[in-house]
Structure 1
Amino acid sequence: ASSKNPTTSSEQKGPKKSGKPPTLVFTGNARDHRVWNTKEQAWEYVDAYHSLQEAEEIRIRGNLSFKMGAYELAKRLYMASGDYVANAEYLEKDEEQTIPGYKEKKVEVLEKAKLNVALCMMKLNQFNECINTCDEILETNPTCVKALFRKGTAYMQQSKYQEALSYLQQAATLQPADNDIKKAMQECIMLSNEDEMPYSFFASSSARSDSEGAEEDEDEDEDE
């Protein structure tokens, strides 16, 4: 199949704003650019651009599974998205220099995939795995608010309130107007105080409703 040249948002909408990198917009069908590996019995992409495009498309399919409540399937799709980003890096030649927005898109797709892996792990009560995934994100982006928030809420679900509050405070410092972070911090402080009090103090108290401590939807920054 013939390959189409990638386009960017600046090409579609006029000149880009000064200082802002162009946004890569995928065109065509990624699966027209793969070949069957007989030895491995698997499809392989022939270039980095279309492997990255497949990573983005799989991530979007993961979002649909997440909305349906199929968190395990969504997690596998998000992890597969990350694998295709890694494959794109393996296939790279000069894409970062010759395709406007390619490098930024690669970072964006991988971070979104990992953030949503972490969110699925929260939904599946896989709190240690969620924390480890957030650590991977924070290694490359220490100011990622969602990674800090999800790591904090995962610690809170494990009743590790001091650790939880540390990461929630970092998230709040970076995004002070976020109501979800504020609520999580308030809950964490309340639970921490309760944990230090004798059980008899709560014996006659009515049961409280549990908070999920995580966002209801997939990564809200995703492209439409």
Structure 2
Amino acid sequence: MVVIEPIKPTPPVQESTEENSSTATTAEEILHGTGNTVESATAATSGNDSDGYETASETELNDPDREPEKNNKTVSNHDNSDGDVRRGVKEEERKEESESGDNELNEKALVQANDAKLEGNSLFKSALYEEALLKYELAIQVAPDGPYSAEIRSICHANRAACFSKLGKFEETIKECTKAIELNSTYIKALLRRAEAREKLEQYEEAIADMTKILELDQSNDQARRTIIRLKPLADEKREKMKEEMIGKLKEMGNSILGRFGMSTDNFKAVKDPNTGSYSISFQR
């Protein structure tokens, strides 16, 4: 009888086990960071692939921590915008308050100016012209500048002109009337008062010009029409008188020069043309 011995299993090769162990150890070291790590290997690989230009990594581009910065900037921009709006509103409110305050001051000033004007009127009625002048001047000074106060200032200048006219100061009357007309070009009473003062000073042509302006504004003003008719002969007479005076002065000057040559202005005769009113000079020995 044949006896069959069981086959003994072949023992594993030791080198193979050590190799696996070495491999396992190496993997374990890699996992625990004691050997060459994945990050190191990756870094080495990427370092070899670099072309020398520094670029943003994928992590930097997709970093969720960077998003809030954008959001914060957006919020900051919104905050700045809201701040600008609030500042604009406050500035507008301050402007409105300032305008409101200015309007209130102007209204008070107008009331004070009108009170001074009324006091001046009372003094004028009492023939206290010097005192009335002061009140009208006060009203002009108190009244604020601007078109809304032009009327009261114009009236006060015209009233001052009336005071000067009563005092016989016609030059001052003309000045005050001119100021009143500058503020109100259609102020007929001021034009009339200035024309009267100019007539007093024998400024007939200027007075006629004022009366003509009055007729342009009011064609039914008979006083202006009558005054123009009355003043025209006076203006013509004065013009002729001025010509004669001028000729007399020229003769005196001419004689002083012509006398050196044995002549005088008597050798020259001025002849008036009846059609044109001009003069021609003729020489006579």
TM-score normalised by the chain length of structure 2: 0.43
Give the CA deviation at 1:69: 1.8
Q: Describe the superposition over 1:76-99 as per-residue Cα deviations: whole angstroms up to 9, x where unpaired.
A: 2111111111xx34xxxxxx8xxx
Give the CA deviation at 1:197: 8.7
Counterpart of 1:185 (choices 221, 224, 228) is 228
> Aligned letter for 2:108?
H
Q: Relative CO higher for 1 or 2, CA cutoff 8 Å, sep ≥ 6?
A: 1
Contact 1:62 1:77 in 2 (8 A): yes
- In structure 1, list runs of 5 or more residues that go unmatched: 1-45, 90-95, 97-102, 199-224
2:116 corresponds to 1:58:
yes
CA distance in 2, matches of 1:185, 1:75: 31
Taking the TM superposition and a 5 Å limit, the aligned residue runs for 1:83-162 are 83-85=141-143, 88-89=144-145, 104=148, 106-162=149-205
Aligned residues: 138
> Aligned letter for 1:169?
T
Partner of 2:132: 74
2:107 corresponds to 1:49:
yes
Give the CA deviation at 1:169: 0.9
CA distance in 1, matches of 2:231, 2:125: 27
Contact 2:173 2:194 in 1 (8 A): yes
Q: Which one has a larger percent helix, Structure 1 or Structure 2? A: 2
1:187 and 1:75, CA in 2 relative to 1: closer, same or farther beyond 3 A?
farther
CA distance in 2, matches of 1:188, 1:141: 26
Q: Describe the superposition over 1:86-122 as per-residue Cα deviations: whole angstroms up to 9, x where unpaired.
A: xx34xxxxxx8xxxxxx53x22211111111111111
Q: Describe the superposition over 1:158-182 as per-residue Cα deviations: whole angstroms up to 9, x where unpaired.
A: 0111111111111122122234333
CA distance in 1, matches of 2:173, 2:179: 10
Q: Which has the larger radius of gyration?
A: 2
CA distance in 2, matches of 1:130, 1:63: 17
> Aligned letter for 2:137?
M
- In structure 2, list runs of 5 or more residues that go unmatched: 1-103, 242-285
CA distance in 2, matches of 1:193, 1:48: 50
Contact 1:54 1:81 in 2 (8 A): yes
1:67 and 1:178, CA in 2 relative to 1: closer, same or farther beyond 3 A?
farther
1:122 and 1:183, CA in 2 relative to 1: closer, same or farther beyond 3 A?
farther
Partner of 2:18: none
Taking the TM superposition and a 5 Å limit, the aligned residue runs for 1:177-216 are 177-189=220-232, 191-192=234-235
1:182 and 1:119, CA in 2 relative to 1: closer, same or farther beyond 3 A?
farther
CA distance in 2, matches of 1:168, 1:126: 21
> Aligned letter for 1:184?
T
